[in-house]
Amino acid sequence: MLVVMQAHATPEQVRDVCKKIETLGYRPHAIPGAQRTAIGITGNRGEVEPGSLEEMPGVQEVIRVSKPYKLVSRDVKEENSVITFPGSEATIGGRALAVIAGPCAIESREQAFAIAERVHRAGAGFFRGGAYKPRTSPYSFQGLGEEGLRILAEIRDQFGLRIVTEAIDNESLDLVEEYADVIQIGARNMQNFSLLKRAGRSSKPVFLKRGMAATLEEFLMAAEYVMSEGNYNVILCERGVRTFADHTRNTLDLSLVPAVQRLSHLPIVVDPSHGTGKRNKVTPLSRAAIAVGADGLMVEVHNNPDAALSDGMQSIFPDQFDELMAQIRPIAEVVDRYVAGPRNKSAATDVQPAATRP
What residues have CB less than 8 Å from 1, skipping those under 6 apart? 41, 44, 47, 48, 50, 62, 63, 64, 65
Give the residue with the Cβ less far from ligand PEP, 14 or 104. Answer: 104
Per-residue mark of binding to ligand PEP, 142-181 (x: CB under 6 A):
----------------------------------------
**Smallest distance from ligand PEP to CB 67, Å:** 25
Question: Do 186 and 209 meet the contact criterion of CB atoms below 8 Å apart?
Answer: yes
Contact, 3 vs 53, CB < 8 A?
yes
Quote the least distance from Cβ 188 to ligand PEP, whole Å. Answer: 6
Strands 234-238 and 182-185: unpaired
- Compare residues 9 and 152 and give the one whose CB is closer to Mn ion: 152
Handedness of CA 95, 189, 143, 135 (dihedral sign): negative
Q: Is 102 in the site for ligand PEP (CB under 6 A)?
A: no
Interface with ligand PEP includes 186 (CB under 6 A)?
A: yes
Q: Which of 104, 222, 227, 285 touches Mn ion (CB under 5 A)? A: 104
Q: Please name which of 153, 183, 177, 178 lies closest in space to residue 165, comparing C-alpha atoms.
A: 183
> With binding defined as CB under 6 A, does residue 316 bind ligand PEP?
no
Stretch that binds ligand PEP, among 14-22, 59-67, 186-194, 316-324 (CB under 6 A): 186-194
Which residues in 253-286 are b (16+ Cβ under 10 Å) and which e? bbebbebbbebbbbbbbbbbbbbbbebebbbebb
Question: Measured from the CB of residue 60, what is the shortest distance to Mn ion in angstroms?
Answer: 46
Amino acid at 4: V
- The yes or no reply on residue 311 touching Mn ion (CB under 5 A) is yes
Size of the site for Mn ion (CB under 5 A): 2
Exactly one of 3, 104, 161, 256 binds ligand PEP (CB under 6 A); which one?
104
How many whole angstroms from its chain centre is CA 205? 7
Q: Does 129 bind ligand PEP (CB under 6 A)?
A: no
DSSP 63: E
Determine if 337 is a binding residue for ligand PEP (CB under 6 A): no
Shortest distance, position 49 Cβ to ligand PEP, whole Å: 42
Residue 131 engages ligand PEP in binding (rule: CB under 6 A): no
DSSP-assigned states of every residue in 132-169 = S---SSTTS----THHHHHHHHHHHHHH--EEEEE--S
Q: Does 187 bind ligand PEP (CB under 6 A)?
A: yes
Q: Least distance (Å) from Mn ion to the CB of residue 209?
A: 10
Candidates 39-47, 54-62, 101-109, 258-266; binding stretch for Mn ion (CB under 5 A)? 101-109
Q: How far is the CB of 311 from Mn ion (least distance, A)?
A: 4
Burial class (CB in 10 A: 0-12, 13-18, 19+), 47: exposed
Q: How many residues bind ligand PEP (CB under 6 A)?
A: 9
239 scored as a contact of ligand PEP (CB under 6 A)? yes
Which residues, 6 or more positions from 11, have their beta carbon under 8 angstroms from its beta carbon? Answer: none
For residue 244, how many C-alpha atoms fall within 13 Å in the half-sphere facing its CB?
A: 0
Taking the complex as a whole, the smallest distance from the CB of residue 245 to ligand PEP amounts, in Å, to 17
Least Cβ distance, residue 130 to Mn ion (angstroms): 7
Residues 6+ apart with CB under 8 A from 171: none
Rule CB under 6 A: which residues touch ligand PEP?
104, 130, 134, 186-188, 209, 239, 274
